[in-house]
Amino acid sequence: MAVASLDRKLSVLILHGPNLNLLGLREPGIYGVSTLAQIDTRAIELGRSLGVEVTPLQSNHEGVLVDTIHAARDCHDGIIVNAGAYTHTSIAIRDAIAAVQIPTVEVHLSNIYKRETFRHHSYLAPIVVGQISGFGAYSYELGLQALIAHLREGTANAGDRSRG
């Protein structure tokens, strides 16, 4: 896992799961009209304004998401993940996040608890720092702000412990 230091810019990976490449076209009444490119641009700009490097990646393939999570150990301090439908089905993505031990925030555009019953269960929720859902495209920005605060608090606390 990458370790944040006070002299190095934090790095956050944003992972988008299946069908999120169709945002803006796919069921806009549920997912909104923002495109994935617009969400990524806003997250990158927010990260820049907060002194954090943001790297987005979208894949419809579970293995690509798992491989990307594994690779994140060497270069990212935190992960924002919207695993899409894999949230409710993928033990592999859950296990990858647990294995790398990188602080992760789960986000969803819609409120998954107001939708079909099968969407109420998240394999990721028990192992992530927190979950944000129901705020449309702003879920990513809220998740990013929360993750950055969590990472910076952890870095400050780690510094306090080292002075001990």
The yes-or-no answer on residue 121 being catalytic is no
Q: Is 105 exposed, middle or buried (0-12, 13-18, 19+ CB in 10 A)?
A: buried
The one catalytic residue among 16, 31, 76, 123? 31
* SS3 category, 98: helix
Dihedrals phi, psi of 123, to nearest 5 degrees: -70, -20
Burial track 114-140 (b if 16+ CB lie within 10 A, e otherwise): eeeeebeebbbeeebbebbbebbbbbb
Cβ neighbours of residue 163 under 8 Å, at least 6 residues apart?
A: none
Residue pair 119/88 in contact (Cβ under 8 Å)? The answer is: yes
Catalytic residue among 16, 76, 86, 108: 108
- Is 108 in the active site? yes
**Active-site residue set:** 31, 108
